[in-house]
Structure 1
Amino acid sequence: MSFNAQRFYPQIFLLTGFLGSGKTSLILDHIRDPGTANTGVIVNEVGQIDVDGALITTGRTGFPVATLDNGCVCCSLNSDLPNAILELLAEREAAGGQPFERIIIETSGVSKPSPILRSLLNTGMPLRTTVLSTYDCEQGPDMTARFEEAVAQLAAAQTIVVSKVDRADDLASSRASQAAAYLNPLAAIVNERDRTQRARLAFAGIQMPLRSSFSIVARQEPNNSKHTRMNVFLIKFEEPKWDQLSEWIENLVGYCGDRLLRTKGFVRTEGRRVLIQGVGGSFDPPREIADGLEREDGLVIITRDLAREDFSTIEPPLKLQVHGL
């Protein structure tokens, strides 16, 4: 099966989250819901023993699961994931079933999202991708303090699902939401005790409006946060030319490397307001946004081990203001 411009392509949910944070449980809760018949799942499990895939397969008789068993998605060949998606679509078509409304890709707990998103961008298919990350209500702060992969997963997420809240008290649940919002102020937070409703909210596929998260309220570090290496900056430009801004962003990626976790915001350039968003070094094509909605211009950049002064070293030298959030 190859790319077909006339074909309907499903919503892609890239489900990340550190080891043991509840990714498979969230999928199981989702596929047990009667309204999820048109869902496909691609499971990536490190090693040859596909424990997670076996669990998902038993969730519903005949539920379609494709497995990548050659290690982490981010470490595999770029062709593996696109081929798995194409094969899943082809099997569905051959069986005469309705087209998938959504495909969930469950990544390994030690995968970073950026290389996976780059692989999806290179498929040539018009895929709409939403990044989700699970955040363990009990172990989340410790995991983000110890493992950079956990931080990268949360920073990339458009939606963070606080997991295991059904077995935590109200105070722990509230603190988990605060910690998740502190790590990624751009993400929507799902904190729901009812497991079925939690899964519905996570995989709703609702295209949220471009939020005026700029200006962002000052972030207050939660009491249980142990992460001291992660910073969020708001950068305001004085209407640069597009070619200069583009070069600056390219050099930002080169300068930061793995320390650049997430970029999102609106920048006015040459009379246009442009939406810029990226995960790690992978950026969506810039998109012009029509005036009319009240919003503040600025790029929110989530980094690790980067100081405010570092931005002044990036070429070309643009007129900008850097605010720590």
Structure 2
Amino acid sequence: MTASNDHALIHARGLRKRFGDFTAVDGIDVDVPRGEAFGFLGPNGAGKSSTMRMVACVSPPTGGTLRILGMDPLRDGPAIRARLGVCPQLDNLDPELTVRENLTTYARYFGIPRRVARQRADELLDFVQLADRSGSKVEPLSGGMKRRLTIARALVNQPELVLLDEPTTGLDPQARHLVWERLFRLKQQGVTLVLTTHYMDEAEQLCDRLVVMDAGRIAAEGSPRDLITRYSTREVVELRFPTDSQQDFAGKLTGLGERIEVLPDRILLYADDGDAALAQVQLRGLEPTSVLVRRSSLEDVFLHLTGRTLVD
């Protein structure tokens, strides 16, 4: 990890979380410095949410060391929570209140004076582009509007560290990109962001650095570009052949590229030069029904590290 304990807003060493005989988080080391956008990636059950709950000071660690903002969550939980912003996976807004009231009412939990709360609410509604809906009730809002309001609510106390659990799950592409833009602006303002996400493009877009978790442990850590360089190739060639079994053709591709992965509907050929690898495929007399040469992505890394088997 790159940050030292002196400069890390989150510092964990050998962090563990157990539920009875089940180990959800199995001795992870994490440092998140001020001003960074840091991501936790992993399949269901990897330990992301359990880690986030410990960082949010709502679930005590079972073992190891954890410091948030230089403080001990077990001893200083209320003081830490006062300086955190939390955007949960599911929106839990109050449908009986207006958009603006959801912010001003939440501000009372932090002892923010009403005049200040009203001013911050107006500023935050401008920031998330909801000023024109300030008097509306929550229920009729679109999913994207509710998500932006939940993010705005997480910023009411002007937190140094904002935790975002699956910030754009269920949103359409336009709403996702608007949320990304708002989060990028927060990072530009010096706010430290920690997020979990299932969207690899989101992680590439937002995260300066991330960890890939699997079975409660960290499988890899680095920037998105570093991880792609380390665990994949520059390009990937996707080949589809006219047969029910792509495996029939896999043996004929031996020696092409650095790695071959056979899927039910296509074969992935990992190579630094996709066009050159494709030329070699054609020189061998193979005629795929469709071809796609693309750059390698964080999703390729993620699936390589955690597998393609669905985890329930």
Give the TM-score taking structure 2 as reference length. Answer: 0.25
State which structure, 1 or 2, has the greater radius of gyration over its C-alpha atoms: 2
Give the TM-score taking structure 1 as reference length. Answer: 0.24
Which structure carries more relative contact order (alpha carbon 8 Å, separation 6+)? Answer: 2
